[in-house]
Amino acid sequence: MTGHSEPGTVQSRPVEQCRCCGGSHLEVVLDLGCTPLANALPSDLSIPEPTYPLAVAICRDCALVQTTYWVSGEVIFGGDYPYFSSYSTDYLRHARDHALELIEERRLGPESLVVEIASNDGYLLRNFVERGVPVLGIDPARGPAETARGIGVPTLEEYFGSELARGLRAEGRRADVVLGNNVLAHVDDPNQLAAGVAILLADEGVAIFEVPYLVDLVERCAFDTIYHEHNCYFSLRALQNLFERHELHVVDVRRLEVHGGSLRVSVARKGEEKAAVAELRSLEDRLGVATTDFYRQFAQRVEAVTSGLRDLLTRLRDRGERVAAYGAAAKGATLANASGIGPDLVAYVVDRNPAKQGRFLPGVRIPIVPPERLEEDPPDLLLIFVWNLLPEIRAQLGDFPGRFLVPIPEPRIL
């Protein structure tokens, strides 16, 4: 699938049935109101920004937490999509380490094939290419896909699903490794993706997915990772329920710190389940991740963070202190919109990505500027929207004379 929607095609709609099991027992656990698309950075403020409801619900049948309103991929990714993975040096290091580990563990070589779903700008697959391992990237976003091809990573500018997988298999391509980092959350129909993996994966192959971990999201109050691009929020239980529907089995799991807390799950047609899988499943059962009680306090904490941050920024402004922000990421857009933070409280947002500079944070319309602005017009405090990258940011900024304001899990000044 590629291209734009045909005239008359529905581009957004409410979600009334579970994306995984099709059940109708969805119960809202957090409502963030109506917001614009988090990565739709406007450049012309005279053009109205469309907004969409942003709430999440849990399926009481299969435990999948998901948004209650869908926006099509053509709307989200079909234009000038500005997200490029390669602008985080920490994430590049994380990707390289994973690639090298896989090459050694799976004994990958010139006869192997590694396929990545949502391969972005080639940040991960380039590590395999450099070591002579054949790869194929699949990503619907034009800008990142073109960048990947420019560095020698073959990339199909398409959406992944069973139809594309059948076509690749008909060409004789079977994947020894299928990778999907931060893609499962983005798809509206995870069954289509899982079915495609089942078709494309070699008999002895492994599919490895990294997803933001629902338990970390709740326990760290990382509600800013909720936005329209992320349709689903996974626990291990929900992942197992999804893959078992397609005769695939979670054989290993690892908790990671990346993106504020993630899971790396290994999925195969067969194989013995490692102890880590049973241990994490037991933890989730004790926490009650499949029950609404687990999320009630979370919603209260979200309200405390948004109101507390707004009140703190108001006090800082009233006593004459200037605040800027770092990182025009999607999580910053969610945080700013949910908290009601505009240019009256935050003067500007700096970002290293030139594709974002000269634009505005959606909804709240805070200007996005290059990092040099911090030297030309230094603020007293720097609000770290990308709080999960704080060590990397502090290293980049070196002798920045101001203080840091970290919003999650609760607003605090460092």
121 within 8 A of 86, measured Cβ to Cβ: yes
pLDDT, residue 6, reads: 35
Sequence-separated (6 or more) residues with CB below 8 Å from residue 51: 34, 35, 36, 363
Q: In 111-150, which ranges are continuous DSSP H helix?
A: 125-129, 142-150
Which CATH number does the domain 85-291 belong to among 3.30.450.40, 3.30.70.580, 3.40.50.150, 1.10.10.10? 3.40.50.150
d(CA 79, CA 364): 21
Q: What residue spans define the domains of the chain?
A: 85-291, 300-413
Dist. CA 156–CA 146, nearest whole Å: 10
Q: Which of 167, 147, 160 has the alpha carbon at shortest distance from 207?
A: 160
User: 300-413: same fold as 85-291?
Assistant: yes
Q: List phi, psi (to 5°) of 89.
A: -70, -35
Which DSSP string do the residues of 149-166 spell out, in sequence order?
Answer: HHTT--EE-S--SHHHHH
Do residues 238 and 263 lie in contact, with contact meaning Cβ atoms separated by under 8 Å? Answer: no
Provide the pLDDT for residue 2.
28
pLDDT in tens, 363-403: 999 999 999 999 999 999 999 999 988 988 988 888 888 89
CATH 3.40.50.720 describes domain 300-413 = yes
* 261 within 8 A of 255, measured Cβ to Cβ: yes
Name the stretches of the chain with pLDDT < 50.
1-8
Q: Which of 17, 54, 305 lies closest to 188 in space, CA to CA?
A: 17
Check residue 49 and report its DSSP letter.
P
- Residue 405 pairs in a beta bridge with 383, 413
For residue 10, the model assigns a pLDDT of 73
Compute the residue count for the chain.
414
Joined together, the tokens standing for residue 106 give 């799976």
Token match 């192997």: residue? 112
Question: Looking at residue 267, what is its pLDDT?
Answer: 98
Return the pLDDT at 187: 87
The whole-number pLDDT of residue 302 equals 97
Distance CA 132, CA 146 (A): 21
Q: How far apart are CA 286 and CA 31, in angstroms?
A: 25
pLDDT score, position 3: 31
Q: What is the C-alpha separation between 94 and 264, in angstroms, rounded?
A: 12
The pLDDT assigned to 8 comes to 45
**C-alpha to C-alpha distance for 82 and 333, rounded to whole angstroms:** 14
Structure confidence by residue, pLDDT tens digits, 218-243: 999 999 999 998 999 999 999 999 99
Q: For the segment 134-172, what is each residue's pLDDT rounded down to a tens digit?
A: 999 999 888 889 999 999 999 999 999 999 999 999 999
pTM over 0.95: no
Instruction: Let me know the angle formed at the C-alpha of 188 by 266 and 166, rounded to the nearest 5 degrees.
Output: 65
Query: In angstroms, rounded to a whole number, what is the distance separating the alpha carbons of residues 360 and 318?
Result: 24
Residue 270 per-residue DSSP state: S
Helices (H), 171-274: 190-200, 214-219, 236-244
Return the pLDDT at 9. 58
How far apart (Å, rounded) are the C-alpha atoms in residues 328 and 41? Answer: 9
d(CA 15, CA 66): 9
Report how far residue 247's alpha carbon sits from residue 346's, in angstroms, rounded to the nearest whole number.
50
Q: Which residues contact 320 (CB under 8 A, 6 or more apart)?
A: none
Vertex 331: Cα angle to 252 and 136 (nearest 5): 50
Q: Is the peptide bond before 409 cis (omega within 30 degrees of 0)?
A: yes
